[in-house]
Amino acid sequence: MKSPAPLPPPTPSRETTHLLEINLISAQNLKPPSANIRRLQTYAVAYIDPTRKLRSRVDRLGGENPSWNDKFIFRVSSDFLASETSSFTVDIYAVGVLKDALLGSVRFLLSNCVCLHSTGVPSFVAVQIRRNSGRFQGVLNVGAMVIDASSEVGSSLAGVSAIGYRDFMGESHQRRKHRRGVSDQSSESESCGGDSVDYSDGSESTDSSTSGSNILKELNGRREMAGKCNGEGMILCGLGFQKKIQRRPSDQDIKDFDALDLNTGR
């Protein structure tokens, strides 16, 4: 009896990807780069891969205690989330006249608050900011959450490696606006089906011009009949206006006027 043939090795399954949401909330006790800055305006740059950085909005009012409340979404693998050394970096800059100054950086370990099995559960932590000199100055408040790639948000971000939440909402708004515009155009074309207008060249007749000319002819005919019935004058019909012209006196009327005796009135 022959032994059964060995089964082929299983095909490797495609690596599961997840969406990592980073929320840059605020910072406290930042140190200005110099005393010459009249007003401290700051922004933050978050990234996992240095080649794909995402920038927050500029805080112009908070000064040394800025608030951004910006969210970023990164596509990561299951191995990345499971590793204890996986991290993302946040750099904080001050807006300058010629060049923006780096105030400090934060390296955030995901293993401190993010778990692969806690999908959809946000976590928040405060991390010290390290300056260029190596000293710690200030605190960064940040949040993180794992989003299921098969969710509605994940389906909308298919093929996107990193994107800001404001950019994502802007693209979604543009898509909805485009779809709404297309639907409005289709509804207008359906509602105007009774009075359709054929935008053709001069060699072709249009429905609207034919109906308009018929109406104009009918109005002209009615006004001509009214002019004939009126013995004192006649009416000329134009496009949207009318003018009444008095009839000139005839030669017989002039002769009668010359024969009139001014003294007797006869």
| pLDDT for the residue 206 | 38
With a CB cutoff of 8 Å and minimum separation 6, the contacts of 231 are: none
H-helix or E-strand containing 162?
Answer: strand 162-164
| Predicted confidence (pLDDT) per residue in 188-225, tens digit | 554 444 443 343 344 333 343 444 444 445 545 555 55
H-helix or E-strand containing 74?
Answer: strand 67-77
- Quick one: 114 and 242 in the same domain? no
- Quick one: 133 and 41 in the same domain? yes
| Predicted confidence (pLDDT) per residue in 139-176, tens digit | 999 999 998 777 777 677 777 888 888 887 775 455 55
- 135 located within any domain: yes
What's the CATH number where 81 sits? 2.60.40.150
Among 172, 201, 227, give the residue marking a domain's end.
Answer: 172
The residue to which tokens 């032994």 are assigned: 3
How many independent structural domains does the chain possess?
Answer: 2
pTM for the model stands at 0.58
What stretches of the chain show up as alpha helix (H) in DSSP?
A: 78-82, 152-156, 165-191, 207-229, 251-258
Whole-number Å distance between alpha carbons of 174 and 49: 28
Tokens (6 digits) for 142? 């940040």
Domain enclosing residue 241, as ranges:
212-246
